Amino acid sequence: MYDYIENIIPKDRMLFEEPMSRHTTFRVGGEAECLIQIKEEEELIKLVPYLNQIGQKYFILGNGSNLLVGDKGYRGIVISLGGGMNKIRVDGNRIYVQAGALLSQTAINAREAGLSGMEFAVGIPGSVGGGIVMNAGAYDGEMKQITESVKLMDVEGRILTLDNDTMEFGYRTSIIKNRPFVVLEVVLNLQTGEKEKIQQKMDELMAKRISKQPLNFPSAGSTFKRPEGYFAGKLIMDAGMRGYSIGGARVSDKHCGFIVNTGTATAADIKEVIEEVQERVKERFQVTLEPEVVFLGDF
């Protein structure tokens, strides 16, 4: 299999037994059997259908900002778009952006082009591809509001383009969430604005983020989706879980919706804290907290 893959991907971009702690914002996780770094769309179009054809397990990785990889690692191939497939092109009010580009960098490019509507994304640490899959958002903004169309690939390598309505965007979800599509490129449709005002709004949102979120510790951002009619952080706080810790994993004192790695956490510690929080909130308020975090590999 790897001999065949070498015909598609240069050997120096195939990292064997690669620690996933280097590729997630939690900074934890065991080794992936192989991590393949993608640079061009064509590589992905050749690789993914081949892996599906032979029944090889794989995972598409963006910036690793919403991912918890088990301490025992992942016995499969991680296909990393981070650092590659990150071209951003502005044409009038539209931005054409590849899946591996960071949301924050895309927002900066939008500002430089005098385009407004993406200010909310300046502090989100994920990739554009990941942002589309989960309809990422913050401060009343979300990808649904600015996405015109999404270029996707199916498991057989066929390319299709879905418009905004067909993407079935919802709260932290899209049509891709439970289907084996891979995001290749996104067309964003923004409004003309003044650079100074765009920057001012970005500064305001970043100041809010810094004041309310524990950005000094590794985390995956908001750990749980917002339950209908509630705020996850308040439920966790009211359940008496502020500062609750196991090993190096801790419910943030600054914002209870965040579980952070204080420096020595294992993936198992983080998973255990997540489960304990879910149990306590369910017991106290009869509300089920659903993680935003994706779990990968063996814990």
Residue 8 is encoded by which pair of tokens?
A: 């598609």
Catalytically annotated residue among 172, 174, 250, 252 = 172
**Cα 277 to Cα 273: distance, rounded to the nearest angstrom:** 6
Catalytic residue among 21, 127, 149, 222: 222
- Per-residue tokens: 14: 């195939």
Residues contacting residue 94 through CB under 8 Å, at least 6 positions apart: 148, 187, 188, 189, 190
Which residues have a Cβ under 8 Å from the Cβ of 298 and sit 6 or more positions away? 30, 70, 71, 72, 73, 74, 75
Question: What's the token pair of residue 83?
Answer: 């650092």
The tokens describing 27, both together, are: 């900074």
**280 in active site:** no
172 is a catalytic site residue: yes
E strands in the chain: 14-19, 31-37, 58-61, 67-69, 74-80, 88-91, 94-98, 115-116, 137-138, 141-142, 147-153, 159-163, 182-189, 191-192, 245-246, 249-251, 259-261, 294-296
Stretch (H or E) spanning 165: none
| Catalytic annotation present for 211 | no
Copy the structure tokens of residue 116.
């407004």
**Active-site annotation, residues:** 172, 222, 292
